[in-house]
Homo-oligomer: A and B are copies of this chain.
């Protein structure tokens, strides 16, 4: 629109920002960027392995989860391959599936959560070699308990690979994350530094899985793809546990703040385990009008397009000054919508 947003709350970024230690590590690494990064990301993978109690051979690092999803699509999909995901789930996964000629089989949400039983049935019915599940999910922010996720994974055929996207894993209750089971060849769990660690602009994601499953990535990945500075930044982010804890507190407080803004307008916020909150505006047309009203007031939010979910707008957490902008603009946008009626 030719002018900056007053509040950037639409891309599920983390406006609380990265650790000062990350900034320092990036300054430190800046002078070294004439060198290629380590193609093995050895230091980062070692630290991740220690953090999660898995082997370094159970981890592959990539240019964001998006990149790893592209590699998964390439590994598991041939033209016509059925791939199961939720209707309204992560569009970039669908993009990669389509790009490799896969056939998407979608299962509607059930009560604002991804439908585990429906996904399982579809995977079995279609003999799908690939199922995608986000926990917590995007765009609704809901989640399943880790025990239910583990049972879901165990219930899938051995010939079905489950991609469990835990991009929002850190912001979820610990109970939402099952323990790592790297003995299971048909499970890949994905994490990222883009959300809780506030490094979306550095591009670092990783997948954890059984060692042979992980080795398959080495046959096709862009070996020198991980920038040296991204490896340094991600490692520093992982090491600053105090900053992560403080960020998670701020995210949780901001979720409550956004839910409070919704409640002040007699609207319901969908319970969220992520760094965003879906606000139920009561219907698709109202939600669309409210989002347009917010954009017109230079407040960037987004909304799901999928029937059933499209009654919501999706508001990312952020610093209080941006949330205050949202609060004001949201009230104005709602009033304008109601005045039009």
Contacts and interface: CB of A to CB of B under 8 A. Distances in A.
A200 interface: yes
Interface stretch (A8-16, A53-61, A126-134, A175-183): A8-16
Interface residues on A, range: 35 or more
Contacts of A230: 227
Interface string A279-320: 000000000000000000000000000000000000000000
Interface in A1-49: 8, 11, 13-18, 23, 26-27, 29-37
Given A63-B63, A202-B229, A227-B203, A33 B11 contact: no
B63 A33 contact: no
A188 interface: no
Among A27, A30, A220, A226, which residue has the most Cβ atoms of chain B within 10 A?
A30
Contacts of A199: 33-34
Given A33-B18, A36-B11, A225 B203 contact: yes
A222 interface: yes
B36 A17 contact: no
Contacts of A202: 33, 227-229
A146 interface: no
Contacts of A99: 219-220
A170 interface: no
A23 B63 CA distance: 22
A111 interface: no
A26 B30 contact: yes
Interface in A197-218: 198-203
A233 interface: yes
Given A99-B219, A219-B99, A34 B63 contact: no
Number of copies: 2
A36 B222 contact: no
Contacts of A194: 36
Interface stretch (A64-72, A160-168, A248-256, A321-329): A64-72
Contact of A27 (B17, B27, B220, B223): B27
Nearest to A193: B33
B14 A23 contact: no
A152 interface: no
**Which among A63, A198, A233 has the greatest number of chain B C-beta atoms within 10 A?**
A63
Nearest to A29: B201
Nearest to A219: B99
Closest 8 CB pairs of A and B: A201-B228, A33-B201, A34-B198, A36-B200, A203-B227, A23-B30, A26-B30, A67-B222
Given A15-B34, A33-B233, 20 more contacts: A17-B34, A18-B33, A23-B30, A26-B26, A29-B201, A33-B199, A33-B201, A33-B202, A34-B200, A63-B63, A63-B222, A64-B224, A66-B222, A66-B223, A66-B225, A92-B223, A92-B224, A99-B220, A203-B226, A229-B229
22 contacts: A17-B31, A18-B33, A18-B34, A29-B201, A33-B198, A33-B199, A33-B200, A33-B233, A34-B198, A34-B201, A35-B200, A36-B194, A36-B201, A64-B222, A67-B222, A70-B222, A92-B223, A99-B220, A201-B228, A201-B229, A202-B229, A203-B227
